[in-house]
Structure 1
Amino acid sequence: MSDIIQYQYKEEHLVNSAPNKYDHTRLKASEMILNVGPQHPSTHGVLRLEVVTDGELVVDVVPHLGYLHRCFEKHAEALPFNQVIPYVDRMDYVAAMNSEHAYAMGVERMLGIENEIPRRVEYIRVLVAELNRLASHFVAIGTYALDIGAYTPFLWMMRDREQILRLLEWVSGARMLYNYIWIGGLFYDLPTGFEERCAEFATYLEPKLKELEQLVVENRIFVARTANVGVLDLPLAINYGCSGPVLRGSGLRYDLRRIDGYSVYPELDFDVPVGSGAMGKTGDCWDRNWVRVAECRESLKIIRQCLAQLTGALRRTPDFDPQAAVPKKIRPKAMDFYVRAESSKGELGFFFRTDGKSDKPVRCKARACSFNNLSVLPELARGGLLADLVAIIGSIDVVMGEVDR
């Protein structure tokens, strides 16, 4: 390695280096620096990993961010609250409904109108959010199998995800970036026949999830590639602020739909799956993937319960207006406010600072779950094989639009 490259590397990575971390300024004769991404498909987006390797062993990993920076927070500070929702969609663009739900709920609580939201609106919000959670997990599971070397599960997952996207396109007019959940209500009520079509999809999907378990989760090759790999101990996960399937895969039953009980989730019956080390050690790659598969079954249970309400006590009526509680003017009192919700990848939070004079936030800050989950990657990868690094990245399930907000 030339002196120039060593100098550049020192300038980039010497700042705030912890004493227990690898000294990047001195490479051994057997070590080299390998760039994985930002175009490599295994990085799940425009993520660049600077990997120090010793043969096939990973000595250290330095994630480089910012290749997809969207300046979400500064955009939000320049726009009225109700015009920010399309930008929220573009954070976790694989689960945009979940992001919209969290943001709209936060502004409603600031305005003090959360109790004015019609119950049919709340159940529709949970219904579309859980459909989107399924679609997000299908992307995570399918691409993860593709990372490991299995092509068929990816095709199966994209096939079933396509049906969800068609349902969400039917209800909102868009396939991925919906702008459907508005502050105080919804863009529009469910289309006529949506509940029946959604129920047919739920009936279709249930046996498909069992096939998925047999094809991927119980597959000998998949187990060998993921069990005892990338083990995330629970104290380490908590210290890094991990959440979602990454945290629950380490054995902690922590789900904001249960802990905070927002929207109508307290009225619904569903379990919170956690990793148990069934195939290896608790908190390994297999556990994190299994939690997502198990959560697909729980989301299906929630969808069925929402459909029962929407076709029963909360059935559509001619006079129902999904925008009845939408405020004419959004101007919260001067305050600092934080709201959080359970996205498909973990705790998604929004912090607002308002001055009581403007319809725009003085400060907006997003707490992106993918950012915290990605930060633990160097701890999981050190000492492992280079091939295992790909398996670890896939098990974390990051979306870079949320990291580079």
Structure 2
Amino acid sequence: MNVPLQYDYRPEHLTHSEPNKYGLSDLRKEEMILNMGPQHPSTHGVLRLEIITDGEVVVDVVPHLGYLHRCFEKHAESLPFNQIIPYVDRMDYVAAMNSEHAYVMGVERMLGIENDIPKRVEYIRVLVAELNRLASHFVAIGTYAMDIGAYTPFLWMMRDREQILRLLEWVCGARMLYNYIWIGGLFYDLPVDFEERCAEFIRYLKPKLIELQQLVIENKIFIQRTANVGVLPMPTAINYGCTGPVLRGSGLRYDLRRVDNYSVYPELDFDIPIGTGEMGTLGDCWDRNWVRVAECWESVKIIEQCLAKLTTDYARTRDFDPQAMVPKKIRPKAMDFYARAESSKGELGFFFRTDGRSDVPVRCKARACSFHNLSVISEISRGGLLADLVAVIGSLDLVMGEVDR
């Protein structure tokens, strides 16, 4: 190719003479490739983003994965079903109880014992899962506020999350990776006086959630940084397989706790918040964060109902054994089976293939909600400003242990 010897030569494919979205038609610009991560704190883990920019405008974003590969599926294919639970904890380590709940219910349905689980066990499972959902959303909201420049909400969220982690540590002895929900039951019953301590925490938390809304979600600067940014239309969210608050922020009332009616959720009263475009465009970063805050209130309602049931209808008894239905040997029939549940970030599913002869799955595949939510980042970042890309990443609430699993 003949290259003119002139100082201002630019290849044709990098020259933009047509007006861009900001009306800058008289400037000749170059596309530039930047790397964000994999150690950048605002990428929420070891995620590398290859960003193609035109000045301050994002032309395209290409995520590169695999920096935190945990080999979960191959580990699971070499272990009995009951020994896989600690590895499930390490996928979404911010919401391990929710992951355990999804996995254990899947195995129980495959074995056909889901209807034999005692009601007290079911209510305890939902109680600890909703506590962990609160803790997960606190991390999402707190780190998101810090990503866009507000430090105080992060400290407040970590303060309240710490109390939840202390409650869960009291239940099972572990701070983040629990191995508490077992196939057929629980590792142990709730400690004595746990229900009272949990109810006391919920009373403390309610005014803190009101402060959170005023400090963050209703804050003028927060609204200006998130409204009309990273807009995800509902059809695009569905096509990319997005679930959880990312999908509900786009206006679709889809929650597996209501769609599949698993465990004791059909007996509980709670709503499914969705984005409405109140502060900007439907499906923007503000909507996704508002849905998480609204879901915190719904989790509080669920926890209060579980506590009421656990102290009246299904109160502890001296002869109650949470491991009574735990199978001594897990050997399912030869089949392909898929089960799913609503994690704090969306639909978490597990596919099992069994041969009928072993207690080890022939194939185990996890459907990670963070992976699908991350896949949409290119669609909702193109044409935006580079400064807004961090806001877009944070609004997806990614955990790379689940993406790279």
TM, length-normalised to structure 2? 0.93
Which whole-Å deviations, capped at 9, do the CAs of 1:225-248 have from their partners, x for residues lacking one? 000000000000000000000000
Which residue of structure 2 lines up, in the alignment, with residue 272 of structure 1? 272
User: Which runs of structure 2 are paired with 1:117-266 in the superposition (5 Å)?
Assistant: 117-266=117-266
Q: Report how far residue 345 of structure 1 moved.
A: 0.1
Counterpart Cα distance in 2 of 1:387 and 1:360:
48
Q: Report how far residue 31 of structure 1 moved.
A: 1.6
Q: Report how far residue 51 of structure 1 moved.
A: 0.3
Which residue of structure 1 lines up, in the alignment, with residue 342 of structure 2? 342
Which whole-Å deviations, capped at 9, do the CAs of 1:323-351 have from their partners, x for residues lacking one? 00000100000011000000000000000
Which residue of structure 1 lines up, in the alignment, with residue 401 of structure 2? 401
Counterpart Cα distance in 2 of 1:104 and 1:256:
16
Which whole-Å deviations, capped at 9, do the CAs of 1:205-224 have from their partners, x for residues lacking one? 01110000000000000000
Counterpart Cα distance in 2 of 1:115 and 1:240:
34
Q: Which amino acid aligns with 2:122?
A: E
Q: Report how far residue 157 of structure 1 moved.
A: 0.1
Q: Report how far residue 139 of structure 1 moved.
A: 0.1
Counterpart Cα distance in 2 of 1:242 and 1:110:
26
Which residue of structure 2 lines up, in the alignment, with residue 290 of structure 1? 290
Which residue of structure 2 lines up, in the alignment, with residue 317 of structure 1? 317
Q: Report how far residue 39 of structure 1 moved.
A: 0.7
Q: Which amino acid aligns with 1:59?
A: V
User: Which runs of structure 2 are paired with 1:13-92 in the superposition (5 Å)?
Assistant: 30-92=30-92
Kindly indicate whether the alpha-carbon contact (under 8 Å) linking 2:275 and 2:283 is maintained by their aligned counterparts in 1: yes
Counterpart Cα distance in 2 of 1:62 and 1:271:
36
Counterpart Cα distance in 2 of 1:284 and 1:29:
28
Counterpart Cα distance in 1 of 2:118 and 2:247:
33
Counterpart Cα distance in 1 of 2:34 and 2:169:
41
Count how many residue pairs are aligned between Structure 1 and Structure 2: 378
TM, length-normalised to structure 1? 0.93
User: Which runs of structure 2 are paired with 1:88-99 in the superposition (5 Å)?
Assistant: 88-99=88-99
Q: Report how far residue 55 of structure 1 moved.
A: 1.2
2:385 matches 1:380 = no
| 52-61 or 366-375, which deviates more | 52-61
Which residue of structure 1 lines up, in the alignment, with residue 330 of structure 2? 330
Unaligned runs of 5+ in 2: 1-27
SS of corresponding position for 1:60:
strand
Counterpart Cα distance in 2 of 1:249 and 1:29:
35
Kindly indicate whether the alpha-carbon contact (under 8 Å) linking 2:29 and 2:55 is maintained by their aligned counterparts in 1: no
Q: Report how far residue 54 of structure 1 moved.
A: 1.2
| Identical columns (%) | 85
Counterpart Cα distance in 1 of 2:162 and 2:34:
36
Q: Report how far residue 29 of structure 1 moved.
A: 5.8
Counterpart Cα distance in 2 of 1:114 and 1:214:
42
SS of corresponding position for 1:142:
helix
Counterpart Cα distance in 1 of 2:271 and 2:210:
17
Q: Which amino acid aligns with 1:30?
A: E
Counterpart Cα distance in 2 of 1:306 and 1:148:
36
Counterpart Cα distance in 1 of 2:114 and 2:204:
35
Kindly indicate whether the alpha-carbon contact (under 8 Å) linking 2:335 and 2:353 is maintained by their aligned counterparts in 1: yes
Counterpart Cα distance in 2 of 1:81 and 1:274:
36
Which residue of structure 1 lines up, in the alignment, with residue 16 of structure 2? none
SS of corresponding position for 1:328:
coil
Counterpart Cα distance in 2 of 1:387 and 1:396:
16
Q: Which amino acid aligns with 1:67?
A: Y
SS of corresponding position for 1:341:
strand
Kindly indicate whether the alpha-carbon contact (under 8 Å) linking 2:29 and 2:54 is maintained by their aligned counterparts in 1: no
SS of corresponding position for 1:383:
coil
2:321 matches 1:301 = no
Q: Which amino acid aligns with 2:274?
A: V
Counterpart Cα distance in 1 of 2:170 and 2:106:
26
Q: Report how far residue 30 of structure 1 moved.
A: 1.6
Q: Which amino acid aligns with 1:92?
A: D
Counterpart Cα distance in 2 of 1:135 and 1:343:
12
Q: Report how far residue 62 of structure 1 moved.
A: 0.4
